[in-house]
């Protein structure tokens, strides 16, 4: 966790439904003012974590700690949290202003004070003049902002967001990601968001908690998870990755080799003491991102320190600024995905062409199989 003071902590939280384990010993620390995203596929347990934090579901075992106080048994209406759901959960018979001010009304706020606070919250989410409209008269993005205004108006210590952008189209979703980040920086409230979208997690989070099958696999900054995956699942799930399988080989100064059959793959192991000291012969992958791979003519003379693979271009896919290329090893031993700048000068990209793919050892990480 960054240097911020810890606001929320889960300690060995587990959950079982009808005898089926859903979460297993989840530990998580959330810093005050942090944006943390819980990322995982459907059925991974990420929404159950959020529901336990919010008080909607009780853990079978473990504790929820807020600012040093145990709130595991504290009911929903006594937790200083608010939740934004994917369906927004707005009251259709209430105006926008009434929806936003609902929490204040429940708390017995004075009518005059409430009107001023509602107006200020609507300005913050750029919905001035929308107070007398009803949810049915709003677009999806506007309804999402109403739900956010309702969540922030009571100044909660933590805002929980359960797939809040899932109902929006792609372009609007990207716009709202930036909007949510701007709002969070302005109000400085801790955001904890659940999503299955890797790009959304990268765009939104200070740190990402990757979960699968009810277990936390890795927690870290987006850049660290992207370039330093700790497990095979994280390497496969968190962005596109080439996983080149082999056996863990010789150790060098800051490097290990993965013996891939078609040749050794030299990988940096800085920050991986468990890999640096692991026994040789373990099944492992050399993991390299497609954008870290370069292509050269078949007769190119390359630096001896570079990893290299001879192959043939099997497919080319243009997608605007980037071009994706699939290279098959000359002997058919593996397939390498490559992502190039479409305007980049260099080897011509044609299906059937023989090429040499190369990448730096520093761009390659060891992941145990």
For 112-136, what is the mean pLDDT?
A: 90
Q: Kindly give, in sequence order, each residue whose CB lies less than 8 Å from that of residue 89, ignoring residues fewer than 6 positions away.
A: 147
- Per CATH, the homologous superfamily of domain 6-232 is P-loop containing nucleotide triphosphate hydrolases (3.40.50.300)
131-186, pLDDT tens digit by residue?
999 999 998 888 988 998 999 898 899 999 998 887 778 888 888 888 889 889 98
Report phi then psi at 17, rounded to 5.
Answer: -115, 120
Q: Look at 1-10, 83-92, 223-232 and tell me which has the smallest mean pLDDT.
A: 1-10
Q: Rounded to the nearest 5°, which phi and psi values hold at 174?
A: -65, -40
Residues 71 and 78: their CA atoms lie apart, in Å, by 9
Q: For position 31, what pLDDT does the model report?
A: 95
Instruction: Average the pLDDT over 28-38 and give the result.
Output: 96
Question: Which pLDDT score is estimated for 21?
Answer: 94
318: β partners: 323
Query: What would the two tokens of residue 39 be?
Result: 């990322």
Mean pLDDT, the chain, as a whole number? 91
Higher pLDDT, 22 or 111: 22
**pTM of the predicted model as reported, rounded to 2 decimal places:** 0.88
Which distant-in-sequence residues (6+ apart) come within 8 Å of 105 by Cβ?
Answer: 114
Distance (Å, whole) CA 130 – CA 341: 44
**Mapping DSSP to helix (H, G, I), strand (E, B) and coil, where does residue 313 land?**
strand
What tens digit of pLDDT does each residue of 273-313 get?
Answer: 889 889 999 999 999 999 999 999 999 999 989 999 999 99
CATH ID of 240-368, from 3.40.50.150, 2.40.50.100, 1.10.150.20, 3.90.120.10? 2.40.50.100
Domain map of the chain by residue range? Answer: 6-232, 240-368
pLDDT at 365: 94
Give the Cα separation of 149 and 88 in Å (integer): 11
Residue 1 pLDDT > 70, yes or no? no
- Which contacts qualify for 97-104: CB closer than 8 Å, 24 or more apart? 97/122, 97/131, 97/132, 99/135, 99/146, 99/150, 100/131, 100/146, 100/149, 100/150, 100/153, 101/153, 102/150, 103/150, 103/153, 103/154, 104/153, 104/154
- Classify residue 292 by its DSSP letter: G
When pLDDT is averaged across residues 356-366 and rounded to a whole number, the result is 95
Phi/psi at 298 (nearest 5 deg)? -60, -30
- For residue 259, with 0-12 CB atoms within 10 Å meaning exposed, 13-18 middle and 19 or more buried, which class applies? middle
């Amino acid at each position: 966790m960054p240097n911020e003071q810890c606001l929320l902590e889960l300690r060995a939280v587990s959950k079982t439904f009808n005898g089926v384990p859903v979460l297993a010993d989840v530990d998580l620390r959330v810093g005050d003012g942090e944006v943390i995203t819980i990322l995982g596929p459907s059925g991974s347990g990420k929404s159950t974590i959020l529901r336990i934090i919010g008080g909607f579901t009780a853990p079978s075992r473990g504790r929820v700690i807020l600012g040093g106080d145990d709130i595991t048994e504290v009911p929903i209406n006594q937790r200083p949290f608010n939740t934004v759901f994917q369906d927004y959960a707005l009251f259709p018979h209430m105006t926008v202003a009434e929806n936003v001010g609902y929490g204040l009304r429940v708390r017995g706020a004075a009518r005059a004070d409430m009107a001023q606070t509602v107006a200020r919250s609507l300005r913050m989410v750029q919905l001035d003049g929308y107070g007398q409209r009803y949810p049915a008269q709003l677009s999806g993005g506007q309804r999402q902002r109403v739900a956010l205004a309702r969540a922030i108006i009571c100044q909660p210590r933590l805002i929980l967001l359960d797939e809040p952008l899932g109902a929006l189209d792609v372009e609007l979703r990207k716009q709202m990601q930036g909007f949510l980040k701007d709002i969070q920086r302005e109000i400085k409230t801790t955001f904890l968001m659940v999503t299955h979208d890797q790009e959304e997690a990268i765009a939104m989070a200070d740190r990402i908690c990757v979960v699968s099958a009810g277990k936390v696999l890795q927690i870290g900054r987006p850049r660290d998870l992207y370039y330093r995956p700790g497990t095979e699942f994280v390497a496969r799930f968190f962005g596109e990755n080439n996983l080149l399988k082999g056996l863990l080989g010789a150790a060098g100064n800051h490097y290990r080799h993965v013996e891939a059959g078609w040749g050794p793959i030299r990988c940096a192991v800085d920050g991986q003491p468990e890999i640096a000291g692991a026994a040789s012969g373990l099944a492992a992958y050399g993991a390299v991102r497609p954008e870290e791979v370069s292509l050269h003519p078949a007769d190119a003379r390359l630096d001896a320190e570079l990893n290299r693979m001879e192959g043939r271009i099997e497919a080319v896919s243009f997608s605007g600024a980037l071009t994706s290329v699939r290279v098959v090893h000359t002997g058919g031993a593996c397939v390498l995905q490559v992502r190039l700048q479409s305007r980049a000068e260099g080897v011509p990209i044609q299906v059937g062409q023989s090429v040499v793919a190369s990448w730096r050892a520093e761009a390659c990480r060891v992941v145990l199989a």
